[in-house]
C-alpha cells in the first residue's frame, strides 16, 4: 500500500532501512503521525509557522520559538538519530522472536548501552500507547509488548494514509492474549473508519465473534477502496 505522500510503508527489513534512511522522510513520517492536520508549537500550540529547511526545524510565528519533530517525544534529548529510532521501532514490531539490545546495537550501529536505552523507551511508549514523553515508571509485561507495538505501528500506517493498518488492528482484536491492546485497537479502528461495530474489548474474544464478523466483512468488501480524508481525519470510500 502507498501512503498519502506516495511512499510505500516498509514491508520488509530492506525496505525499512531504505525508507528510514532518508532524514527528511523520517521527519515527514513522524510529523504526519504526531500532527495529522499540521505541526503545532509545543509552547503555545500555535498552528502558523515557517519551516527552516537547512536546520529541519519549525519556527512558530506566534511565540517565535523553534522546535523539532522530536520535541515532546521519546526521541527528545537523545543522541541517537531519528532514522535509528524509527528503524528500531520497525524491527521491534516486526521481528517475531523479539530483539535484544545486543542484536539491536548490531542492526543500527550503536553501542549496546544505547540500544538498551532505545529498547527501554520503545517498550515504555508501547505500553503507555503513545510516543509522547512520560514522567513515570511503567512496568511492561513482555506478553503484551508486541501487541502494543502492533497498534502503534498500525496508527502510524493509518495516519500516513495506508489502510493496511486496519488489517493489523483486526489481528489484535482476534488475539485472546492481547487483552489490553484490544482496547486501543478497537478505539483506533472505530475512530479511523468512522463506524461502530459493537466490539467490546473488555469481553473475551469468543463473545465478540459477531462484531468481528462485521469488521471482517467490512474490511473484505470495502478495504481495497478506502481513501484517507485528512479533513475528516478518517478513511472514506
CA atoms within 13 A on the CB side of 144: 19
**The pLDDT of residue 104 is above 80:** yes
pLDDT at 130: 59
CA dist 27 and 35 (Å) reads 11
**The pLDDT of residue 221 is above 60:** yes
pLDDT at 128: 58
Question: Count H helices, E strands: the chain?
Answer: 9, 5
Query: In sequence order, which residues have a C-beta less than 8 Å from that of residue 113 and are 6 or more positions away?
Result: none
- Section 144-162 average pLDDT: 73
Is-contact 16 10, C-beta < 8 A? yes
10 Å Cβ neighbour count for 117? 16
**The pLDDT of residue 211 is above 70:** yes
**The pLDDT of residue 214 is above 90:** yes
pLDDT at 123: 77
- Whether pTM > 0.85 for this model: the answer is no
pLDDT band at 32 (very low <50, low <70, confident <90, very high): confident
Query: Which of 161-165, 207-211, 220-224 bottoms out in mean pLDDT, i.e. has the lowest?
Result: 161-165
Question: Backbone phi, then psi, for 175, in 5-degree steps?
Answer: -85, 115
Q: Is the dihedral of CA 60, 64, 70, 72 positive or negative?
A: negative
pLDDT at 197: 94
- Section 16-38 average pLDDT: 85
pLDDT at 135: 43
Is-contact 65 45, C-beta < 8 A? no
Question: pLDDT tens digit string along 109-132?
Answer: 999 888 988 888 887 776 655 565
Q: What is the mean pLDDT of the chain?
A: 82
Q: If we measure between CA atoms, which residue out of 177, 154, 1 comes closest to residue 90?
A: 154
- Section 218-232 average pLDDT: 88
Amino acid at each position: 500500500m502507498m501512503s498519502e505522500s506516495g511512499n510505500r510503508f516498509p514491508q520488509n527489513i530492506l525496505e525499512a532501512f531504505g525508507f528510514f534512511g532518508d532524514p527528511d522522510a523520517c521527519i515527514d513520517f513522524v510529523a504526519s503521525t504526531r500532527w495529522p492536520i499540521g505541526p503545532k508549537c509545543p509552547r503555545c500550540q500555535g498552528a502558523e509557522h515557517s519551516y527552516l529547511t537547512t536546520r529541519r526545524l519549525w519556527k512558530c510565528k506566534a511565540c517565535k520559538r523553534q522546535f523539532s519533530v522530536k520535541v515532546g517525544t521519546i526521541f527528545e534529548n537523545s543522541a541517537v538519530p531519528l532514522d535509528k529510532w524509527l528503524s528500531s521501532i520497525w524491527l521491534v514490531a516486526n521481528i517475531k522472536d523479539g530483539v535484544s539490545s545486543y542484536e539491536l546495537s548490531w542492526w543500527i550501529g550503536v553501542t549496546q548501552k544505547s540500544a538498551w536505552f532505545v529498547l527501554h523507551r520503545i517498550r515504555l511508549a508501547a505500553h503507555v500507547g503513545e510516543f509522547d514523553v512520560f514522567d513515570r515508571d511503567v512496568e511492561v509485561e513482555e506478553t503484551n509488548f508486541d501487541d502494543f507495538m502492533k497498534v502503534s505501528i498500525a496508527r502510524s500506517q493509518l495516519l500516513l494514509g495506508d489502510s493496511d493498518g486496519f488489517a493489523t488492528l483486526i489481528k489484535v482484536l482476534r488475539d485472546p492474549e492481547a487483552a489490553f491492546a484490544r482496547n486501543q485497537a478497537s478505539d483506533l479502528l472505530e475512530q479511523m473508519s468512522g463506524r461502530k461495530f459493537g466490539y467490546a474489548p473488555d469481553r473475551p474474544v469468543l463473545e465478540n465473534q459477531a462484531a468481528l464478523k462485521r469488521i471482517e466483512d467490512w474490511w473484505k468488501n470495502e478495504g481495497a477502496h478506502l481513501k484517507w480524508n485528512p479533513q475528516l481525519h478518517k478513511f472514506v470510500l
